Amino acid sequence: MLTANIPILPPGVLILTKLKRCVYFIGSTRPSSVMRFHMDELDIKYLLKWLAECDETVDFKGYFSPDVNELYSATKKVLKHWEGVGQDEWVRLMYAVMNQEDRDRMLGD
């Protein structure tokens, strides 16, 4: 997508870039990493709400990656973290904004 000749990632793809980066900071105690995790997590949660409100989905196919399994793995790690800290509502919302094929893939592995 282009806006005024500036490439803009659609929210369904942007959330994957945030998830992919966020997993590197899960469990870190370094102050800068804790801050990065917190900021990425806030962005992810905002994007989840936006996707749900706009009836959009996470776009695994729209993210150009040589290894799409890395995206699924990153998403699973964030979901596992949320489950571990009692944030089940975000896990449910993530699954709600996935298409059926991606949801099956996430739950099947």
* Stated pTM of the model: 0.90
Structure tokens at 71: 């995206």
46 and 54 in contact (C-beta within 8 Å)? no
In sequence order, the 6+-apart residues with CB closer than 8 A to the CB of 27 are 81
Average pLDDT over residues 38-63: 96
Element (H, E) at 7: strand 6-7
Higher pLDDT residue, 107 or 99?
A: 99
For residue 66, the model assigns a pLDDT of 86
Q: What whole-number distance in Å separates Cα of residue 103 and Cα of residue 72?
A: 10
Nearest to 78 by CA among 17, 11, 6: 17
Indicate if the pLDDT at residue 45 is higher than 70.
yes
